[in-house]
A and B are shown apart, each in its own frame.
Chain A
């Protein structure tokens, strides 16, 4: 049992304790796990907001005082990526779930619609995001689960609004090209928020990456918790090679 530390970084809309409610206890059986939440102040410009998130991560990892495994989800993937590119000596490995290289036209138009809705009524923006969060198959079969949980959209706040603004303009190309640590990319083949093509692009850019596509939407940790955990656990055990395209078994 290794006592290495994993830092989990959530995405735009969900705090770390909720986003990683399942993943954290699973990982904690073998590792120390730290949840990282980030926040911003209202008056700052967008560059300063993003820089602020990075600074918070730098401080958090400095406080831990040892190199860590970074796991970032969605927007959190960009934050993790940038840290790993700039502070590689403090990073043991990098895992990006639901990440992308740079925001494309389709994503941008979704963010713009989201912002318009938010200005009208934040609840509507929450509903748009929720609608696109899950794969159609997952939504279709959800009721067939023996203990089917209800999915309810959340109402976003100003912090989330700022993050959506940031999402609109993200470009991690430069940082992705600089990554040297072992990297795992987890992508949903039915992700309506981040196209699988965007994930391929990331795979092409990060030379050290192994790539694990999963039949899921953006809600990877909800739809495929077991697959994400299993794949990540195997990655941490050094089972994958740079450039590997990881094929899942059919159950």
Chain B
């Protein structure tokens, strides 16, 4: 086991980790390390290599404000291009020198006596004055625990861990789920397989995807006139903000988007039976609204069947649906989403008095501003609780947090502060605020069963239930008054080592 001592340890090398590390370096702060269990920068966009994987927020917006890319190939870039973008940013920002890959964090433990975190990975132990979990919300694939799965003799894998070695050509394939990944996977593989059976628990709302391939002239325009790219980005950002009243279920706004979705369905489907199957039974926006021009057409191919029922279990060669009907298949692809309502890392974090984060969060995740938790000093989250979006680019939230956390880090390190812990009353006020804002929104009243709500308490813990600009207004900078501050420095940086 090697031992590593750092002022700051960032865990996670996706958009969040990159944003924070870049910000720190741009502020002239170099004393940090960044680790990730994967083999490179990219996070989501390194791991989700399934056929058809693309973003669903326009790339000119779904990218860093501080590293615009004039050369996006099209409106919604694909996985490979986004991954290339992220590794390019990491290189340009000088982050590889700070990074270590293949480090899966198994535990993170707070030591009050010397005010440090000990972070153990599969191969090393790190000690740090401050830790940041930028470990993502949609990073741990969720495979439903269904009876018979172990007995199934065919091939199975999750969309986020695609098995590219497995040849789908001519196979009978089942896709479980009809969410954001499934609607990209199904059209992308439909023409290769012998048959495709899609299991749907609840129908998603789907709207048209206006995907434009940028010409060389357009790319050069964005290169030569950065203001043009910024103007387009501004437009997209504020256009998304204007959609927020949809989430508040303001009737005029809901009607508008419902009409778009309905017109799309009717334009693409004539068969009344299929139309019925794909018509959602909850209020639009309660779950993510999906964008696709080829989802409905794919479902209408002769060898594709949509089963509007969830999966109940498996036999040796079949998927069994909720009515007990068996569907023989060679391969099952789980497009069943991620462990999302609670951050998977929560059970690995122990704070003051050995308290585990997942125990503190037994009624759902809570973090002041989505970034800090009482009882867990010198620890910050990025893209953690409370900041997911219904309509918008998460990069805006991530950059806001990167500025906040970088601010906090500099405040702590410059003043040689040993310990900052968010005041629990501030955290409670914040949680109350979130509950108030969530009231009457589509996430809590839209009549759908989504991962946005914590299954134990029914509370909205994953979403920022307000306009994005309000988050920037409240959490654009670190406010020391929100924290209990102990001025004595932690001892790690001074070179003290602890013996286990």
Taking Cβ atoms with an 8 Å cutoff, the residues of A that contact B are 1, 21-22, 25-26, 29, 137-138, 141, 143-149, 215, 222-227, 229-230, 233-234, 249-251
Q: How far is the CA of A26 from the CA of B210 in the complex (A)?
A: 29
Other contacts beyond A222-B242, A227-B238, A249-B469: 4, CB < 8 A: A1-B436, A141-B239, A144-B75, A146-B239
Contact A147 B469 (CB under 8 A): no
Contact B235 A226 (CB under 8 A): no
Nearest CB on A from B280, distance (A): 15
**Is the CB of B58 closer than 8 A to any CB of chain A?**
yes
Which listed residue, B75, B235, B250, B391, touches A137 by the CB 8 Å rule? B235
B231, B241, B242, B244 pick with most chain A CB within 10 angstroms: B242
Contact A21 B210 (CB under 8 A): no
Contact B467 A229 (CB under 8 A): yes
Contact A147:B256 (CB < 8 A) given known A22-B242, A225-B241, A226-B241: yes
B interface secondary structure, majority:
helix
For B468, what are the chain A residues with a Cβ–Cβ distance below 8 Å? 226
Contact A145 B250 (CB under 8 A): no
For A143, what are the chain B residues with a Cβ–Cβ distance below 8 Å? 210
For A149, what are the chain B residues with a Cβ–Cβ distance below 8 Å? 256
**Is the CB of B65 closer than 8 A to any CB of chain A?**
yes
Contact A21 B65 (CB under 8 A): no
For B234, what are the chain A residues with a Cβ–Cβ distance below 8 Å? 215, 250-251
For A251, what are the chain B residues with a Cβ–Cβ distance below 8 Å? 61, 65, 233-234, 237-238, 396
For A224, what are the chain B residues with a Cβ–Cβ distance below 8 Å? 238, 241-242
Which listed residue, A22, A138, A225, A234, touches B235 by the CB 8 Å rule? A138
Which listed residue, B244, B248, B260, touches A147 by the CB 8 Å rule? B260
For A145, what are the chain B residues with a Cβ–Cβ distance below 8 Å? 236, 239
**Is the CB of B138 closer than 8 A to any CB of chain A?**
no
Taking Cβ atoms with an 8 Å cutoff, the residues of B that contact A are 58, 61, 65, 75, 207, 210, 230-239, 241-245, 248, 250, 252-253, 256-257, 260, 289, 291, 391, 396, 436-437, 467-470, 472-473, 476
Q: How far is the CA of A137 from the CA of B231 in the complex (A)?
A: 8
A147, A230, A250 pick with most chain B CB within 10 angstroms: A147
For B244, what are the chain A residues with a Cβ–Cβ distance below 8 Å? 26, 225-226
Contact A146:B207 (CB < 8 A) given known A22-B253, A25-B248, A225-B241: yes
For B291, what are the chain A residues with a Cβ–Cβ distance below 8 Å? 146
Q: How far is the CA of A250 from the CA of B472 in the complex (A)?
A: 11
Which listed residue, A21, A148, A215, A226, touches B252 by the CB 8 Å rule? A21
Q: Can you give 16 A-B contacts (C-beta < 8 A)?
A: A21-B252, A25-B250, A137-B235, A141-B236, A144-B210, A146-B391, A148-B260, A225-B238, A225-B242, A225-B244, A225-B245, A226-B241, A230-B467, A233-B473, A250-B234, A251-B238
Closest to B395 in A: A251
For A223, what are the chain B residues with a Cβ–Cβ distance below 8 Å? 238, 242
Which listed residue, B65, B241, B248, B437, touches A250 by the CB 8 Å rule? B65
For B242, what are the chain A residues with a Cβ–Cβ distance below 8 Å? 22, 222-226
For A1, what are the chain B residues with a Cβ–Cβ distance below 8 Å? 436
For B237, what are the chain A residues with a Cβ–Cβ distance below 8 Å? 251
Contact A141 B232 (CB under 8 A): yes
Closest to B56 in A: A146
Nearest CB on B from A89, distance (A): 30
Q: How far is the CA of A124 from the CA of B468 in the complex (A)?
A: 39
Q: How far is the CA of A29 from the CA of B244 in the complex (A)?
A: 13
Which listed residue, A21, A144, A225, A227, touches B236 by the CB 8 Å rule? A144
Nearest CB on A from B108, distance (A): 33
For A21, what are the chain B residues with a Cβ–Cβ distance below 8 Å? 245, 250, 252-253
Nearest CB on B from A140, distance (A): 8
Contact A22 B238 (CB under 8 A): no
